[in-house]
Structures are given as structure tokens and as C-alpha cells.
Amino acid sequence: MFQTNFLSRDQVVAMTGEHGSPLFVYSKAKLIAQAQQLLAIPAPFGLTIRFAMKANPHPAILEIFKQQGIQIDASSGYEAELARKCGFRPETILVTSQQLAHNLQDLVPAGIDFNATSLNQLEQYGRAFPGTSISVRVNPGIGSGHSAKTNVGGITSSFGIWHEYIPQIHELAKIHGLNIVRLHTHIGAGTDPAVWQQAALTSLRLIKKFPTATILNLGGGFKVGRMDDEHDADMGIIGTMLAQEVQKFKEETGRELHLELEPGTFLVANAGILVAQVEDIVNTGKNGYTFLKLNTGMNDILRPGMYGSQHPISVLNDSTETKDYVVVGHNCESGDLLTPVAGNPNLLQARKLNKAAIGDLVLIGGVGGYCASMAAHGYNSFPSAAEVVIE
């Protein structure tokens, strides 16, 4: 049975007594432990770790990372504003957005860094702020993600400026007197480590075409193991590889590159659990399935129904019997499925869980990232689950 490694059963019961359920519980200790693994990367010419705050912009989580010296990757002008409200200095925020930030006129003079993700964004920025420094996101031609929906590199991706258009980037920079100081690549969430490494090496080749760039930002995408048979990316191995490559680059070119990484998932995913309750139990006859209906669902956790992603689930009772259940959410939508076939949100998969009764508490793990922040909030007018951070 999946057990949270930061909360005892008595604490779960006490916390739901106090805050109700469904309830997201985040562990400060786990957040700090993840941050420290990244901050230990031995980059020879400087390291910045940015938190991709889209993963979980809860102010208490932002505060914890701020205290660790972690900076911000913001995906919109709104996220940048929220980060500033939470006390991040403007110069610690980098905006990388699909839609040009609506408040660029406030953000740039205040000192935030802007990363152009298309030629049009570069042109618009150049017209508004000629003669300034700029960062560019390039699509390096390869991508990888835990699902096609999280792959943001290669020809199927609209993210970043296609690598063959580097001459056009230089042309626009020249017209507007822009100094390109950072090359940014991010190829997906939950990437294959081999493809990630290949993208990092490709990015090091690409940055040779940006002689004024002093910062290489390789995005996020590091895997975490949510289920027992999955493993976290080994940041020790990845960090050593990056440090060696940046050193090699210095020997070849004389250039000392400051390294940036901006993970979301790796920092938060396994620092969160969702405590829910069995609301109902129904079955579809002897050739059918038994369904556990929870008092949460796609309005709090959308990843299983969207990607077919797997989250550990356990029923918190003393039953010595187990039973196969399909776990579903409380929304009026057959796609509100918490136990899909891995990678296929359209197919349901029964899981062996403790024999359950209506009212039992249920734990869902691996929900610290892209759950509270990426759910179908407001659907069926259900209120969103409360969120608490524990010491």
C-alpha cells in the first residue's frame, strides 16, 4: 500500500479533521531536499536554479524556494506579477511565455528578464525596448516528454524559435540594437534522460552561434518516480555531465557559461499528497468493474485524465482484504478517471487497493506539481481542494 513518507496516518486524520477534504498537503522538508539536490550541481562558472512556478504557484511554496535562493521561471505576465507580490526581486524573474506578457511595459523597466519565444515576440520587444539585453528560446529540433502533450521540442512543437531561423534572430537583434545574453532551450516535461542529454549538447553547439551570450538555460523536464517502479532523474550524474561539458566548452572557446536550469516537476511533484474520501462505490455487474468515486477529481487533479499519468493511490483503513477498483472523480464526466491505463487516458485500469467503504480516506501521491495549478477549476462548480504546507 502506498504510504506518504512525510505524514503519518494519525496526522492525515487530524489534518482532514481541521481542514476538511479534499486537501492538498505539501511537505516543506521534501521541497527543501529537492531544491538542495539541484543547488549542489557543480557548475564551474555559476549556477541559477529557477522554479517553473506553473507547477505550483502556492505562495508558501514560492517563499520556501525564495529562501533557498531559487529564482523564477514565469510563464505569463500574471505569473511574473504574482512572483513579485511574493517578494521575488524583478531581476530574479525570467518570463518565457507563449503569449507576449500583457504587462511587459511594467515588467521590463522594473528589471525582469524577457525570453523571446518567437520572431514576432523578438520584433515586438525590440521595438518597445531597443538597445537592451534579451534572451531567446530556440527549439533545438529535438523534443521529449512523458506524453506527446508535454513534448515541446522538434517539428511538432510551437515552442521557441526554430533553430534554422537563427540568422533571422541576429537580423532582428541588429535592427533593434539588442544584446543577446541568454540562449534558452526546454524540450519537454518528463523527458527521456538520453534525449535531454542530447538536447543539452545540441544547445552547447547552438550557443556558439550567439557570441554575446553568457548564460545557457536548459529548461526543466527532469523525471520523478511517482510509482514504485519509477525512478527520479539522477541529478548527481546529470550535474556532473553538465559541469564537464561547460568546462570543455570553455577550453574550446574561451567562453565561461553561467548555467541555468528551471525544473518544476522535480522540485515539487513528490512533495505533495491529496487526501480525499470515498464518496460512493458502484459496480457494473459480474463482467464489469467496481468503481470508487472520490470527493475530488479533475477539478483538483487532471493529469491522469489528460495524460494517462500514474499516481499512487491507497485507501487508508485497516482492511486485510484487497479488491480491484477503478478510481474515478466526482465530476459528471467519464473522462474524470484517476486510474487510466498508463499513457492512455481513454482506457480504464483497475487497481488492487484495500477493500474500501464509503467515507474511507484515500491518499493520492505525487501531486505537488501540475495538480492544484493545472486542474479544471470550477468544473461542476465544485470548490477547489484546500492546500496546506507542513513543516
Q: Are strands 47-52 and 71-74 parallel, antiparallel or unpaired?
A: parallel
* 332 counts as catalytic: yes
CB of 185 to ligand PLP, least distance (A): 9
Tally of CB atoms within 10 A around 267:
33
| 121 membership: H or E segment, kind and range | helix 119-128
CB of 279 to ligand PLP, least distance (A): 31
Of 219 and 312, nearer to ligand PLP (C-beta) is: 219
* Count of helices and strands (H, E) across the chain: 11, 19
CB of 162 to ligand PLP, least distance (A): 16
Q: Which residue is nearest to ligand PLP (CB)?
A: 220
Q: How far apart are CA 4 and CA 382, in angstroms?
A: 26
CB of 3 to ligand PLP, least distance (A): 25
Active-site option among 332, 352, 381, 391: 332
240 is written with which cell numbers?
Answer: 556532473
Tally of CB atoms within 10 A around 230:
12
Of 262 and 387, nearer to ligand PLP (C-beta) is: 262
Of 55 and 64, nearer to ligand PLP (C-beta) is: 55
Q: Name the residues that contact ligand PLP, by CB under 6 A.
A: 52, 55, 73, 96, 186, 189, 219-222, 262-266
Q: How far apart are CA 1 and CA 356, in angstroms?
A: 13
Which are the contacts of 69, defined by CB distance < 8 A and separation ≥ 6? 39, 49
Of 188 and 345, nearer to ligand PLP (C-beta) is: 188
- Output the CA torsion sign for 350, 308, 2, 225: positive
CB of 219 to ligand PLP, least distance (A): 4
Tally of CB atoms within 10 A around 36:
10
What is the set of active-site residues?
332
